[in-house]
Structure 1
């Protein structure tokens, strides 16, 4: 009995063909043959079905991937050809648990030729991991003489078969699952782990895995309709849970986290997702296997997405898949549902916002993720809950056991599992100092930042979330020097309506009271791409930071800027509106953006609307070219802000996201400080207030340098306000200005070292 080859085909015929393959495999698995004979039959079935000359199965044995069965390669190579995990194409698939689909196998950098297999005449190659308990225990691959990429339906068929093979292999005990799991039980001694700081903070507790492994025991369905009904019921229950959580969020009404949950609910009700699961059931899979099959497809696509925002949205879908799988399998015991008995550090590959909300935040002291990014929905919610989060920590299951003690230092991007007594003592001291420092900084809320020689310095905060605004009164800052309006766009599923924007801006102004707020118009594009606002070329930008972003997007998509202008003007009725345009490189861009606001202002006037008391327009200097035309631009401005994050990478040609260039990306470079000094002098000449926005101003040594080159206004993260106030009160402006003049006239080999010594001698950097 043979089945028709799967080629380019319709979706329905692909499902039918996959069902044929599963039916044959079910017969193979039910036969009385021994395991080796079953695998030999499987490779024949797959090879015939995909019209592929070669089909091979490699299994993990004693730490090596061993060729266990093949159709098309030399039979003498079976149980002889072995390669390490990470070695060759097969080893790469197992190491990364990812799919490869190559028209020319030899062109791949990881290709490794094995002459004993006789594979030299085959060009095309496709392979998928055979996964068991979230670990690759083998690889299923096909090869073809003609160079061609396999069709998507063929790859999906391979992935479906790999799931069936996982069950067969486990039942036949062909692989050592403890070995595949990384021998986690043997973990002893302290483990230092580094990652990406997603939400700052310190926390300690026992390691709790968010989600125990769900093992799918049965892959091939006996009754397709029964499986479909199980999925329908699970969808209903999952949606009910999501609706209930969204209505019972404990950390306040209103805010960006509500929009996050709105987007999350949109995924829960997505018909395309449920349709794909149904199609997988039609192909002959059980409900659990169908959900896992679609989830694997999502993971594969996530690896192919360079767009960080889209990848984060795919993580939300994976979170829902996990929830649905637990419901349909009856394995409902997440750590949240069982309750946290002690202070805990939550461990997960990734986490959705709704799942985070299930935890008792009195016990939850931190989160560590294998994945995660700064724009992820869960990060926005965690920030609102005040929970530190560390992301991008690799191979957590192989390094941390359930119940291990964890010290989480998200401030430094570090975590320690099974710490020594000295580590615990050191951490406790740091935590105590942190609490003391916070209490001390709270006491400084009403302290006015005046230098030792009597000059008033303005210290403002950067914000972007509604939840950031209470920091204005908590820190005693002079105002909001930078409100990043794009955050509202980043967390929304669709373009925020003008009414929604107006409501947010009005609430921000109401919280600020008499203190000024500088709204930066939306800075999207580049690495902050929106799935609902696509440009035909923006997926392929080689240098997104210097590409189609910020004001460039807003001026081209003028409806976007018009709606935001109207929202800001209406929200500021009877108040002063401070609006700033980002990524200005030439004066005409400022003129064009201001013209949009002027037109909307005139329109509101004709409608008889209450207008702002006044509108002050500013620009953000991030593009170095703008410094050459300040004589043209400054007379038009009410204020100018220097965005040091982008400005530094542009001036030094050092990508700030590239760890290899970390030492080159130095705010205390004489070139950077000379540049800022020149811009600051121009601002004084034209009587235009000058503010530095960005991380540079929030670091004491860098802030000292900025004061020395003439900057008198700093807009920084709220956590930095008190330390900078403390620095300001200690410094003598005349003294640092004179010292900076000398250093910049004749720069030392290491200005950072020289400044640190100078400041330490005067007690300026004392804690």
Structure 2
């Protein structure tokens, strides 16, 4: 095998060019192709499978039995080749039979071959076939061989599509009746609009270059133009000169100037590809690697690179138009495989009503920007781009993560009624915005918001919240390309405090590690089977004290002259809290010795997320100023149920007597010690669950901004003495269905629970 991917690919591409230009049937050409690849890669087997009549058909082979050609067929997802086509991913196996998807086909005579490597043949992002090689010797294929296969697969896609050998594109086969799809709720809100595709896919028609230097010049020119566009977007972003949104765009800009990315495209051109084919070749490799990465943060960074690749491809192909460039003419629901933050910013906010994605996640940069823009987003809508045609009506329920395509008149009427009800409720919540969270019999319940961005502090006034009960400081770390320095942290915290005015803000020290691993702060030891229970949060901070010292100094400087409320996450034992508090107090002493301004007072708190801490409250409470119960992690630890596992989503209930009894015990212990308790987490943001929490003595909630109105309305319709007596009875004599029992009680007592 040649030493470089470029040399290997160039040698094969030269032969492919001659085969494509020769006379003869497509079958004879593909027979020559597998012989050529087998010869140049010194492979004992080379096979091409094509997607025909919704299954993969062995169309040409070198090394397997010829009588299996046009006989061996595999469904999408069946066998190794079916898995490659179905998932659009690469397989590289030293022992093919050990893979769980392996399906033996005796007519092929493949039993003597052990190693297997296969790559999808892609056209318009869909697999139309598979190119595979095999050896008798058990071994994994080198990266140079896999890259050569991918390059060849691109050229084959052009040949196969031109000969019309495979199933046509699924676009346009969306159907005619109403279709309801469920996805992942990324940004809440309801919207109605017509479907518009974000970008027409640039189909690479010519893959083999005639003049390598000319193709290189085209890429250089496209890079210059793309970087000018990104620089202009960074300057003109609507969020102002500072904040996390600006940091996101700065990270995006960093990718645009990444020399490694441009070098890989140049190497692909060296192998004999056109500029368009080289960009797509590198993009395919990036997608393949992204599928192998479990780290959500790194996957999001890959999405930014995908966005930039699409932009570069459109520039070099002279097809600059996206839906944003053409201009939206009416209320629009934008549809995309994925979307980068810069591309979202190009759209007219007056027309853009919602975004639907095949991919997407809660931590994606685009999601963060969309939330700031107030645009509902639903992600993980598998095959959405093939389920709808442009111009069709779509109803988007971002609150539930569902959509309806091509709704009939009845569905539209029902949806519009729900939107009207939602608007009426928002008006009702607005009417009580400036009123206190006080029950009918005069018991006060503090209702605060959870936040993670400087701009979130503005939601205190917008929602009528009593302050920020939990500011997640790790978000700045998650969106940054490198570790944020003390100055950057200090500026963020100062902006939050300034925006909050005289309302309290509780800063939680950084909760990273485990399932929030950072690429610039990771090592092999961070890779745990259960990251949520691993080396994260306070455990990591106490191990890497430099990180915590820098954050503490930033908090002290930002809070100069004001109260500072600092909270430590995931405290398991009192000594961890003591060590963390001692570290903060050492920084206070340092600041005093340095004559630096300090907060007027410091309040220390802990998050009770680990059940073991409840057994040590008698030791911990005398040292606490406040206690927060983190119900998200606490619940999964109590029930041994991973909240990220959809199979377990319904296996535990926040209104289970077990969790309510646990929280009641903690609240009673804290009350006896005169330590205020606040519940932070999704549980407190649901009116019925919040009613139960108030009934067991919780006097403070920190919830999502959208939940403040509904929860305050519930509190103001509730009799505190009545719910307290009812909860005591129910927890002493648990009913079979606590949720129904509480719902019925709320109805009988006119408590507003939605």
TM-score by length of 2: 0.99
Q: Are the aligned partners of 2:239 and 2:245 in contact in 1 as well (CA < 8 Å)?
A: no
- Could you say which residue in structure 2 is the equivalent of 1:559? 546
Counterpart check, 1:601 vs 2:592: no
Which of 39, 47, 54 lines up with 1:48 in the alignment? Answer: 39
Q: Are the aligned partners of 1:81 and 1:116 in contact in 2 as well (CA < 8 Å)?
A: yes
- Could you say which residue in structure 2 is the equivalent of 1:20? 11
More deviation in 277-286 or 60-69?
A: 60-69
Which of 703, 707, 721 lines up with 1:720 in the alignment? Answer: 707
Secondary structure of 1:532's match?
helix
More deviation in 654-663 or 672-681?
A: 654-663
Counterpart check, 1:749 vs 2:740: no
Q: 1:504-519 counterparts in 2 under 5 A?
A: 504-519=492-507
Distance 2:144 2:388 in 1: 38
Residues 375-394 of structure 1 deviation map (CA, whole Å, 9 limit, x = unaligned): 11001111111111111110
- Could you say which residue in structure 1 is the equivalent of 2:309? 321
Q: Are the aligned partners of 1:635 and 1:686 in contact in 2 as well (CA < 8 Å)?
A: yes
Counterpart check, 1:371 vs 2:362: no
- Could you say which residue in structure 1 is the equivalent of 2:52? 61
Residues 110-152 of structure 1 deviation map (CA, whole Å, 9 limit, x = unaligned): 1111111111111111111111122111111011111111111
Q: Are the aligned partners of 1:231 and 1:328 in contact in 2 as well (CA < 8 Å)?
A: yes
Q: Are the aligned partners of 2:244 and 2:454 in contact in 1 as well (CA < 8 Å)?
A: yes
1:656 Cα deviation (Å)? 0.7
Distance 1:283 1:243 in 2: 31
Distance 2:7 2:94 in 1: 26
Distance 1:95 1:618 in 2: 50
Q: Are the aligned partners of 2:174 and 2:387 in contact in 1 as well (CA < 8 Å)?
A: no
1:64 Cα deviation (Å)? 2.2
1:565 Cα deviation (Å)? 0.1
Residues 275-306 of structure 1 deviation map (CA, whole Å, 9 limit, x = unaligned): 00000000100000000000000000110000
Structure 1 residues 53 and 625 mapped into 2: Cα distance closer, same or farther (>3 Å)?
Answer: same
Residues 139-189 of structure 1 deviation map (CA, whole Å, 9 limit, x = unaligned): 110111111111111111110000010111122222242xxx226335110
Distance 1:240 1:183 in 2: 34
Distance 1:665 1:748 in 2: 16
Consecutive unaligned residues of structure 1, counting only runs of 5 or more, are none
Secondary structure of 2:745's match?
helix
Q: Are the aligned partners of 1:199 and 1:410 in contact in 2 as well (CA < 8 Å)?
A: yes
More deviation in 351-360 or 392-401?
A: 392-401
Counterpart check, 1:534 vs 2:525: no
Counterpart check, 1:106 vs 2:93: no
Distance 1:527 1:383 in 2: 23
Distance 1:407 1:192 in 2: 9
Counterpart check, 1:644 vs 2:631: yes
Structure 1 residues 766 and 55 mapped into 2: Cα distance closer, same or farther (>3 Å)?
Answer: closer
1:487 Cα deviation (Å)? 0.9
- Could you say which residue in structure 2 is the equivalent of 1:678? 665
Secondary structure of 2:353's match?
strand
Q: Report how many aligned residue pairs link the two structures.
A: 754
- Could you say which residue in structure 2 is the equivalent of 1:524? 512
Residues 201-245 of structure 1 deviation map (CA, whole Å, 9 limit, x = unaligned): 111111111111211010000000000000000000000000111
Distance 1:480 1:617 in 2: 15
Counterpart check, 1:664 vs 2:654: no
Q: Are the aligned partners of 1:129 and 1:136 in contact in 2 as well (CA < 8 Å)?
A: yes
1:311 Cα deviation (Å)? 0.4
Counterpart check, 1:188 vs 2:176: yes
Which of 146, 150, 175 lines up with 2:141 in the alignment? Answer: 150
Secondary structure of 1:138's match?
strand
Secondary structure of 1:211's match?
coil
Secondary structure of 1:56's match?
strand
Q: Are the aligned partners of 2:216 and 2:269 in contact in 1 as well (CA < 8 Å)?
A: yes
Consecutive unaligned residues of structure 2, counting only runs of 5 or more, are none
Distance 1:714 1:24 in 2: 69
Q: Are the aligned partners of 1:184 and 1:397 in contact in 2 as well (CA < 8 Å)?
A: no
1:80 Cα deviation (Å)? 1.5
Distance 1:549 1:570 in 2: 25
Distance 1:85 1:562 in 2: 54
Distance 1:637 1:555 in 2: 19
Which of 552, 556, 570 lines up with 1:569 in the alignment? Answer: 556
Distance 1:254 1:400 in 2: 39
- Could you say which residue in structure 2 is the equivalent of 1:298? 286
Report the aligned-residue RMSD. 1.1
Q: Are the aligned partners of 2:337 and 2:385 in contact in 1 as well (CA < 8 Å)?
A: no
Distance 2:157 2:428 in 1: 58
- Could you say which residue in structure 2 is the equivalent of 1:484? 472
More deviation in 714-723 or 360-369?
A: 714-723
Distance 1:269 1:58 in 2: 39
Distance 1:66 1:703 in 2: 58
More deviation in 691-700 or 56-65?
A: 56-65
Q: Are the aligned partners of 2:394 and 2:404 in contact in 1 as well (CA < 8 Å)?
A: yes
1:535 Cα deviation (Å)? 3.0
- Could you say which residue in structure 1 is the equivalent of 2:534? 547
Distance 1:460 1:501 in 2: 23
- Could you say which residue in structure 1 is the equivalent of 2:446? 458
Distance 1:474 1:350 in 2: 31
Q: Are the aligned partners of 2:95 and 2:139 in contact in 1 as well (CA < 8 Å)?
A: yes
Counterpart check, 1:166 vs 2:154: no
Secondary structure of 1:378's match?
helix
Q: Are the aligned partners of 1:576 and 1:615 in contact in 2 as well (CA < 8 Å)?
A: yes
Q: Are the aligned partners of 2:455 and 2:496 in contact in 1 as well (CA < 8 Å)?
A: no
Residues 381-426 of structure 1 deviation map (CA, whole Å, 9 limit, x = unaligned): 1111111111111011221111111111010010111011111111
- Could you say which residue in structure 2 is the equivalent of 1:610? 597
Secondary structure of 1:184's match?
coil
Residues 89-113 of structure 1 deviation map (CA, whole Å, 9 limit, x = unaligned): 1111111111111111111111111
Secondary structure of 1:570's match?
helix
Distance 2:626 2:55 in 1: 64
Distance 2:6 2:399 in 1: 50
Distance 2:505 2:463 in 1: 15
- Could you say which residue in structure 2 is the equivalent of 1:395? 383
1:63 Cα deviation (Å)? 2.1
Which of 376, 380, 389 lines up with 2:368 in the alignment? Answer: 380
Q: 1:326-365 counterparts in 2 under 5 A?
A: 326-365=314-353
Secondary structure of 1:242's match?
helix
- Could you say which residue in structure 1 is the equivalent of 2:248? 260
TM-score by length of 1: 0.97
Distance 1:382 1:193 in 2: 21
Distance 1:408 1:532 in 2: 37
Distance 1:33 1:79 in 2: 19
Q: Are the aligned partners of 2:621 and 2:673 in contact in 1 as well (CA < 8 Å)?
A: yes
Distance 2:493 2:671 in 1: 31
Q: Are the aligned partners of 2:54 and 2:76 in contact in 1 as well (CA < 8 Å)?
A: yes
- Could you say which residue in structure 1 is the equivalent of 2:238? 250
1:595 Cα deviation (Å)? 1.5
Residues 27-85 of structure 1 deviation map (CA, whole Å, 9 limit, x = unaligned): 11111232111111110111112211100011122222111110000011111212222
- Could you say which residue in structure 2 is the equivalent of 1:704? 691
- Could you say which residue in structure 1 is the equivalent of 2:565? 578
Counterpart check, 1:39 vs 2:19: no
